[in-house]
Amino acid sequence: MTPAVALMQATSTQNDLVASMMFLAVVISGARLFRGKIGRMQTGEYLLFGASIGSAFLVKPTALVVAAPLFIGGGICQLREMTGQSTMKKAVVGVLIALIAASVIAGPDIARKGVSAMHRPEVYPLFSGWNSTRLWNPIATMGQNIPFSQKVKSVLHASGFRGKLYTGRVFFLHGDFVGNPLQVLLLISLTLLTLALIPAVLTKRRSLALALISLYPAAAWVTFALIVKNQIWLTRLQLPLLFTLPFGFALAFRVLRNHRCFYRFLCTAIGVIAIFSLVQGYVAACNNQSRPLKLRYFWGEFPSREVAYYKNKGGKDADDNLLETAETLQCKRIGLIMGGDSYDYPLTWRAMERGMKTRHVRSDPKSEWPCMLYVLDVSPKCVPGIGDQWLLASRDGKSFYRNPDKTADTSLRICTKLNDALGLGAIKPLHQVAVSDVPAGMLIQSDGIDPQVLLPSITCIHQGKPVLKIVMNSPVSTVLQIFYLTPNEKRYASWHSVQAKVFKGENILFLKIPRQALLNSLRLDPGKMPGRYLLRSVEMLLASKSTS
């Protein structure tokens, strides 16, 4: 009954497939609690059972949530076996051994979570929050596994459900979102079949026990949904639930085994469903949107992990801009301020390849360690002193660099700053432009495809590599170019220039300039299209490697 999401998880870094294996380990090691007699359990079995529980908690507690109905029901049924004093004593000692084993493995993690008092928005509080939305959740959580999204919504809303529904991604081939319609349909069918067969076995004690076991997948689904909230990536969290499906066949096999035709039909149906499910899983895994399986991988080419991660989470342009700016400013220490659902791979790895270090500083935003900050999935208000201590380094508002005037670190100095009417007024028009002072800076009106202005001469007495910072608003996406003269040249040429991509709207650009280029004035070509370019500020920075 391999679901699509199981094979998808086998090719990802998520641990829900491991949680499913730990669920099976808990069930197998504690099988005597729901099958057989507890009095026959040996010390080693209790020890293994406790170790499985502790390990499952470490991997993901959802494995224990799924297993809970089975062991609660089994434990209640075993009470009649503990009539004798010796059996009771043995069971109590065994349970203590299991608890000790589980505590040794999971205890430190439980203590850590207790100290941090971390609130998990993905789950309901155990003893509060029992409202209609929560009670509807076992039905609502099927929405991501049913193809007919609009019909599901209309039926649930007509029934009085008012909570949020996540539908429409059943066939979205992604490890976090792909649905399991076949498995959920099988769960519903087995539950209905079991309920239909129960009247025929009410007088048979053993068959009635099998009926309870057959209803376990449905009970696990309800228990899980009453604890775990409905959320966009729920289908992968539900993976351990789908591993309970074999229990649903217990009563059907018992009742139909004496009816050869029905028995053969059931066996054939199970085989067909299993093969179809396996094929579905492999098709989904091979067409995984972030890591598709390609034939060339079989002939030695190794798929790029970075490409897969960025295709999955996005953000490559922001990461590229951060690393390029850090390299230009010779910053080797990047502080990360990230939200709870963010992750720093592959950014950290790419930074290490460039000789840079990253460190999470959200808990200490005023740290003097970083020379740049990167903010992701949190409000920029988390950055202390924006515009004073920290200056914006990207148009997306995610990268910041430390203000050279507000730090004792001399690895970055300001050589020249043109950001007022007096400074920008020294800029001279050269070709296809008209310039005028405006309150926000200097307006460059271009009437051709080769606008040119001449920046004033820049003199820097400090050592370091020149970096030209330009803040400019562009009417279109185009290319900005800076031309410079060498001592033996009198005319600007393209082979002595640097350029940067410019986007429509505000741009913050950092360009490396050769030291010898400061001997003469620089020529600025703001773009290659006619229009109104607003030059807000021009700064010449001197960057050198920090000694700290």
Contacts of 127 (CB under 8 A, 6+ apart): none
Distance CA 211, CA 215 (A): 6
Which pLDDT value is given to residue 425? 80
User: What's the token pair of residue 262?
Assistant: 């029905």
Higher pLDDT pick, 302 / 51:
51
Contacts of 491 (CB under 8 A, 6+ apart): 485
Which pLDDT value is given to residue 422? 55
User: What's the token pair of residue 471?
Assistant: 């803040």
Mean pLDDT, residues 213-225 taken together? 94
Contacts of 177 (CB under 8 A, 6+ apart): 144, 169, 232, 233, 235
Mean pLDDT, residues 253-282 taken together? 85
Query: Confidence band (pLDDT; 50, 70, 90) for 53?
Result: very high
pLDDT in tens, 447-485: 999 999 999 888 777 788 999 999 999 999 999 999 999
CB 370 within 8 A of CB 359: yes
Which pLDDT value is given to residue 548? 45
pLDDT in tens, 96-123: 999 999 999 998 888 877 655 556 778 8
Phi, psi of 229 (to 5 degrees): -70, 155
pLDDT at 443 over 90: yes
Fold of the CATH domain 413-543: Jelly Rolls (2.60.120)
Angle of helix 43-59 versus helix 85-116 axis, rounded to 10: 20
3-state secondary structure of 415: strand
Block residue for tokens 């999935």: 377
Q: What is the mean pLDDT of the chain?
A: 85
Enumerate the domain spans of the chain: 4-284, 314-409, 413-543
Distance CA 31, CA 362 (A): 46
pTM of the model as a whole: 0.70
Mean pLDDT, residues 286-306 taken together? 76
pLDDT in tens, 532-541: 999 999 999 9
Classify burial at 409, counting beta carbons within 10 Å of its beta carbon; exposed 0-12, middle 13-18, buried 19 or more: middle
Q: Comparing C-alpha atoms, which of 360, 374, 365 is closest to residue 324? A: 374
Distance CA 95, CA 321 (A): 57
CB 402 within 8 A of CB 512: no
Please count the CA atoms within 13 angstroms of the CA of 309 that sit on its side-chain side: 17
Query: Confidence band (pLDDT; 50, 70, 90) for 2?
Result: low
Block residue for tokens 């007919």: 148
Distance CA 292, CA 311 (A): 11
Which pLDDT value is given to residue 418? 82
Mean pLDDT, residues 359-364 taken together? 87
CA distances from 219 to 6, 106, 228 (A): 21, 26, 14
pLDDT in tens, 378-420: 887 888 888 888 999 998 889 999 998 887 777 888 888 887 6
Which pLDDT value is given to residue 546? 59
pLDDT in tens, 232-259: 888 889 999 999 999 999 888 888 888 8
Partners of 376 in the beta sheet? 338
Which pLDDT value is given to residue 547? 43
Partners of 510 in the beta sheet? 469
pLDDT in tens, 169-199: 777 777 777 888 888 889 999 999 999 988 8
